[in-house]
Amino acid sequence: MRRAWTRSSSDTYCATACGRLSTGSRRKTASRCCCATSRRARTLLATALQRETADPLLSRNEVERNRRAEWEGFYAEVHEKPMPRTYRATYATDVEVTDRNGRWQGVRAWSDHERAAIVLGVRARIVDLIASRDITVIEIDFTNPAWASDHCPPRSTFVHRLAGGRSRRLDIHYV
- Structural domains of the chain ordered from first start: 11-48 (no CATH), 60-174 (3.10.450.50)
Residue 5's contacts (CB-CB under 8 Å, 6 or more residues apart) are 38, 41, 42, 45, 128, 130
Mean of the per-residue pLDDT values of the chain:
78
Q: How confident is the model over 84-89, as a mean pLDDT? A: 90
pLDDT at site 115: 92
Average pLDDT over residues 83-97: 93
Separation of alpha carbons 106 and 92, rounded Å: 8
Across the range 42-60, mean pLDDT stands at: 57
Per-residue confidence (pLDDT) for residue 28, from 0 to 100: 42
Is the Cβ–Cβ distance between 132 and 106 less than 8 Å? no
In the chain, alpha helices (H): 11-17, 23-35, 38-48, 60-80, 84-87, 107-120
Instruction: Inform me whether the pLDDT recorded for 29 exceeds 70.
Output: no
Per-residue pLDDT tens for 108-150? Answer: 999 999 999 999 999 999 999 999 889 999 999 999 999 998 8
| Ramachandran angles phi, psi of 109, nearest 5° | -65, -45
In the structure, what pLDDT confidence band is assigned to residue 103 with cuts at 50, 70 and 90?
very high
Strand order in the sheet with 123-131: 102-105, 91-99, 166-174, 155-163, 135-143, 123-131
The percent of residues in the chain predicted with pLDDT above 70, rounded, is 67
